[in-house]
Each structure stands twice: as C-alpha cells, then as structure tokens.
Copies of this chain bind each other. A is one copy, B any other.
Amino acid sequence: MENVAMSDLTATISMSLDGFITGPNEKVGNGLGDGGERLHDWMFATPQATTDKRFMDEVFRGPGAVIIGRRMFDHGDEPWGDNPGFGKPVFVLTHRPRERDTRKDGSEFTFVTEGIHAALDQARTATGDRNVIVMGGGNVIRQYLEAGLLDELAISLVPVLMGGGQRLFEPSTTSPRALSLAEVIVSPAVTHLRLCLPR
C-alpha cells in the first residue's frame, strides 16, 4: 500500500481582542452580529496591506477545499448569491440534508450530515494532495480542534473590543493545551497568528 502524505487541515477565522468572532445579536440577516463587520474590514481595505494579501493568498486561496458549518452557510446563502467567492468545493456540516448546489463562480456546496470526520474525508478526496481549510463558525472549528484533527489554527486578531457575541473558544468545550507560534504576520490593522498543533 502506498504511503500517501496527508494534506494539512487549517482553520482560519477573524477574532476580536476580547475573543469574539461576531458581534452581539448574531442571526440570519445579521450574520456577523452588531458591529461584527469590523472583524472583516481588513480583508476589504483599499489598498490592501501587502502582508494581508500574502496571508489571504497563502491561507484562504491555497487550499483545494473548504469546510464550513450550516449556520455560516445559512448566514451567507442570500448575500453570496451566484458569487460566494470560494470558487472550489465547499463541504457544509449540517443535520439537515440538502442537494448539492453549484454556483456560477465554481463554489460547489456539498451538504454532509455524517459529522466532521466524514466532511474531512470528502474534502480530502475532492482536493487530492492540496490542503483543506475550515472557515468557521466557531462551533465547527472547536469540533475539529477538540478531535485533534487540526494541523494549524490561523487567527486574524483584530484590535477591537466587541463586548459580546459568539466566542471562538468556549471554556466548556476547550481543553487546556499549548500551541506553537509558526508565524506572526503583522499588518497595520490586524495581527495574523499562525499556530501549529501537534498531529
């Protein structure tokens, strides 16, 4: 049997200094919560900082497939329309089955009801030896983290205080552990922390 190197699994998300990945009152139609768009402003800055561009090229664009949660899909579904911007296979973790759905920009949504291992297997099959990226929400990232399946956690730390919202790390589901800093990418408005986890 051939010894195949397994592609890496990275999770990435923008987090406020006080640990939130949305503002308060997050719901469909207000997917980032009140004031939560400040967490993503760095992605849309014009001109974009060279370091932010490099981070996005490496972390967002490099992987061959994406995994997201159903809540994130439901938040994005309507605003995304024909152009969700992934342009690659996206596996959506859900309890509610739904038909595969391909958009004009090549974003192909497959709904996986068998849990995080199944979604990862399907993503790895779809992408060959390219990496796979988990893009949220917090609940999905925490599940992959706690299952020991993540190789890297790439947190874009935004220097704002949200004062409420969805946390990335919930104490009740976060095991104490040390990570190692693989790289810190410094930009004017955000600090990208690339953190390694032992596989």
Contacts and interface: CB of A to CB of B under 8 A. Distances in A.
Contacts of A23: 176
Interface residues of A, number: 33
B159 A181 contact: yes
Main secondary structure of the interface of A (DSSP, over half): loop
Contacts of A169: 17-19, 161
Contacts of A171: 18, 163-164
Given A160-B176, A184-B191, 20 more contacts: A17-B195, A18-B19, A18-B174, A35-B176, A159-B178, A159-B180, A159-B195, A161-B169, A161-B175, A161-B176, A162-B176, A163-B171, A163-B176, A181-B188, A181-B189, A181-B190, A181-B191, A184-B184, A184-B186, A186-B186
